[in-house]
Structure 1
Amino acid sequence: MSQHDMDVANGPGLTVRTDINAAIQALASNSVGPVSPATTFACQWWGDTTAGRLKRRNSANTAWIDMGALDALSYLLASGGKLTGPIDDATPQTIASLTTTDIGVATSNVVYISGTTTITGLGTIAAGARRTVRFLASLTLTHNVTSLILPTAANITTAANDTAEFVSLGSGNWLCLRYSPASGRAAANPVGTVSQSGGIPTGAIIETGSNANGFYTKWADGTMVAWGQYPGNGLTWTAGTGVRYAQFSGFPLPVNFVGAVRSATTAVNTDISTLSSYIANFAASGSTYSGYLAAPSGTTGTGTHTFNWICFGRWY
């Protein structure tokens, strides 16, 4: 144990030498002792044996800075190493939501975001910085392919106690590594508008809809089904050899198909056993379908010749 005021007083030779040796010993041992040195200097070291901590005086010489344990490795080597204790974050800081909610300047790696203002950015900090975020209310996180990259490449509506982890990419850009809804539901609504970029789904998992031409369901993998009912009115019947037929052509589908389309039909209010009509050569392509109604020779063709149709294919 050696501490010294670092002031060698004048005196007889042996006294001065002893004083110098005591000062050198204090320097060599980092002023180790149970209490702090009586005389302190800026950036001075002190081995606090009471607390078991190595401390350094700040540059203003007003306080001690805890540098770690005296008798254990309390830092990671530049080339690697293993922690032997927990890493405790500072107390979470609550930040009110703003268009740019600057979590980069937070005083803790754990941030609580309050308020309901839509967020489009998270502020600027060096690349690699991480923040764990807890949302205290419902707001919208706005996806951006550069500055705020979110899971499923879609906006997220938060709920109270949802959590997320973000990593800075630098220059004000952030990537959401995970998003965990408090409810346990998927981060993005699986039902919505499907979309894709280069064959990679970027929207909802499933989309359903309808219009005057029928109904449809799209899946994120590109599969699509459309169905409806042909009205069968106003057709012109033509007499053939042993048969009468009426062509329907270019009738609109409710959605546009890409590539080959497979289809099936079922007659409605039609009974061939009483010489009514049946469906022939039904085909769909792109956004339309065509085919024929056929009936045995001698029918008048004045009945109701409706039928149901269904088509299978892809939307991309």
Structure 2
Amino acid sequence: MAKQTINLGVAPNGAGGDDRRAAWLKAISNFNELYAFLGGDALTEGLPVAKGGTGGKTQAAGRTGLGLKTAAIADAVGDVSQGALMQYVSNSTGEYWRFASGLVISSQTVSVGALSWSAGTGVRYLNVTAGLPVTFVTTPRVYVQISDNDISARSAWVAAAIPTASTCSNWFAANAGTTGSGAFSFNILAVGRWK
């Protein structure tokens, strides 16, 4: 049926409009049609998805009806061991993001005081081992970037980065003719698994 509109008549007293009984009959007819569309007088079921609802009377049934997984109710950031999607941790070594999927990404800056570089054939070299901000379950991939305060005198570069689950042994090399030995810093980005 089409929506039944109550005739309010002419203001200010409603002359020519529906009387109370006729107005309520129209209202009841409108409500009956609405309830029938939604599933009946008792509304014992959730509004179906096809009719714009969730398909359930509870949150869990609604999520199921909409095809949502557990991420729909998880905290975005929090403790992943408590169901959050990701977790941010900062400690004295650096920082890391732990994801519910098992992925973990760590970042840190390592500052090194003035050290003696060993002489090699055609190069000078130095090894600095740093602990990672988080322990990985397997050896992570690492990306090391030198941030050298003395680069003009040292002409240094990263020769190798050899990670374990909790450390990274970083080998730096420089031209044999350079003399720089001052303090410098380097960054480590590690990507791996925490579970």
Class of the TM-score when normalised by the shorter of the 2 chains? 0.5 to 0.7
> What is the aligned counterpart of 1:232 among 99, 112, 117?
112
The CA deviation at 1:256 is 1.0
Match of 2:97 in 1: 217
Which residue of the partner structure matches residue 167 of structure 2? 288
Local SS of the residue matching 1:299: coil
Aligned counterparts of 1:177 and 1:284: Cα–Cα separation in 2: 47
Partner of 1:113: none
Deviation at 1:164, TM superposition (A): 7.3
| Aligned residue number for residue 188 of structure 1 | 74
How far is 1:217 from its partner? 0.9
Q: How does 1:9-88 map to 2 (within 5 A)?
A: 86=40, 88=42
Q: How does 1:81-120 map to 2 (within 5 A)?
A: 86=40, 88=42
| 1:11 matched residue in structure 2 | none
Cα distance between partner residues in 1 of 2:138 and 2:74: 29
Maintained 8 Å contact 1:235/1:247: no
What is the rounded CA distance, in whole Å, between the counterparts of 1:268 and 1:165 in structure 2?
56
Distance 1:278 1:187 in 2: 47
* Residue 132 (structure 2) aligned to one of 253, 276, 279: 253
What runs of 5+ residues in structure 1 fail to find an aligned partner? 1-84, 90-108, 110-131, 133-162, 167-175, 180-185, 196-201
Counterpart of 2:79, as a letter, is: T
What's the CA shift for 1:88? 2.1
SS where residue 178 of structure 2 aligns?
coil
Mapped to 1, the partners of 2:85 and 2:170 lie a distance apart of 33
Judged with a 3 Å threshold, the aligned counterparts in structure 2 of structure 1 residues 287 and 177 are, in CA distance, closer, same or farther, namely: farther
Distance 1:188 1:87 in 2: 35
1:216, CA displacement in angstroms? 0.8
TM-score normalized by structure 1? 0.39
* Identical pairs, percent: 36
Q: Which is richer in helix? A: 2
1:306 corresponds to: 185
Unaligned 5+ segments in structure 2 are 1-38, 47-55, 64-71
With the length of structure 2 as denominator, give the TM-score of the two structures. 0.60
Q: 2:58 aligns with which of 134, 145, 165?
A: 165
Cα offset for 1:287? 1.3
Offset, 1:295: 1.2
Counterpart mapping for 1:193-208 below 5 A:
193-195=79-81, 203-208=83-88
How far apart, in 1, do the equivalents of 2:146 and 2:137 lie? 26
* d(CA) in 1 for partners of 2:58, 2:99: 29
Which structure's residues are more often strand, by fraction? 1
Q: Give the Cα separation in 1 of the matches to 2:115 and 2:73.
A: 51
Report the alpha carbon displacement of residue 260 of structure 1 after superposing the two structures with TM. 3.3
Aligned partner of 2:155 in structure 1 is: 276
Q: Give a deviation string over 1:154-191, Cα, whole Å, max 9, x none.
A: xxxxxxxxx9738xxxxxxxxx5557xxxxxx533211
Instruction: Work out which of the two has the higher radius of gyration on C-alpha atoms and give 1 or 2.
Output: 1
Give the CA RMSD over aligned residues: 3.0
Give, in angstroms, the shift of residue 87 of structure 1: 6.3
Summarize deviations over 1:5-61 as a string: whole Å, max 9, x none: xxxxxxxxxxxxxxxxxxxxxxxxxxxxxxxxxxxxxxxxxxxxxxxxxxxxxxxxx
Identify if the C-alpha distance between structure 1 residues 164 and 294 changes in structure 2 by more than 3 Å, giving closer, same or farther. farther
Contact 1:235/1:248, CA 8 A, preserved across alignment: no
> Does structure 2 conserve the Cα–Cα contact (< 8 Å) formed by 1:270 and 1:276?
no
Structure-2 separation of matches of 1:259 and 1:223 = 11
Q: Would you say the 8 A contact 1:279–1:292 is kept in 2?
A: yes
Distance in 2 (CA, whole Å) between partners of 1:284 and 1:299 is 28
* AA in 1 matched with 2:111: P
